[in-house]
Amino acid sequence: MRMNHEFARDLRRNMTEAERVLWSRIRDGQIYGARFRRQAPIGRYIVDFVWFTGKLVVELDGGQHAENQIADQSRTDWLASEGFEVMRFWNHEVLQDLDSVVQAIGDRIKGAGNEAD
């Protein structure tokens, strides 16, 4: 488990451009007060972004994910079995239409009916 935390720390230090751009818009409760964490371990996985209170995972996919669809689906299925909803966006969606991505995440948070934290 310790290795997962160290790997997550490395991922936080070396975020992709798309991750940095999205993080700048969802950090510090900017969307309806939801407090996201980045590169957070959940079980054996490290997710890009997670709002634990609302059980929402946001994953950004680059070109490599087109080739790893089976692994991505297994990961999504496991996270769903733990009660998390997974929203996936392509890196180019974040870089080319950030407002729509943030709106979709906001709609999900607002629809959760949970008090954000």
Q: Which residue has the higher pLDDT, 113 or 8?
A: 113
Q: What is the pLDDT of residue 109?
A: 95
52: in domain: yes
CA angle in degrees (0–180, nearest 5) for 102-78-60: 30
117: in domain: no
- Identify the domain containing residue 78 by its residue range: 2-111
For residues 101 and 79, give the distance between their C-alpha atoms in angstroms, rounded to a whole number.
Answer: 21
Confidence of residue 15 (pLDDT cuts 50, 70, 90): confident
Confidence of residue 12 (pLDDT cuts 50, 70, 90): low
Q: What is the pTM of this model?
A: 0.83
Torsion, Cα of 9, 103, 86, 23 (10° steps): 0
19: in domain: yes
Q: Which residue has the higher pLDDT, 66 or 53?
A: 53
77: in domain: yes
- pLDDT of residue 44 exceeding 80: yes
Q: What is the pLDDT of residue 103?
A: 97
Confidence of residue 114 (pLDDT cuts 50, 70, 90): low
Q: What is the pLDDT of residue 30?
A: 94
Q: How many domains does the chain have?
A: 1
116: in domain: no
In degrees rounded to 5, what are phi and psi of residue 95?
A: -75, -30
61-64 long-range Cβ contacts below 8 angstroms, 24+ apart: 61/88, 61/89, 61/90, 61/91, 62/16, 62/18, 62/90, 62/91
- pLDDT of residue 4 exceeding 70: no
Return the CATH number at 62: 3.40.960.10
Confidence of residue 66 (pLDDT cuts 50, 70, 90): low
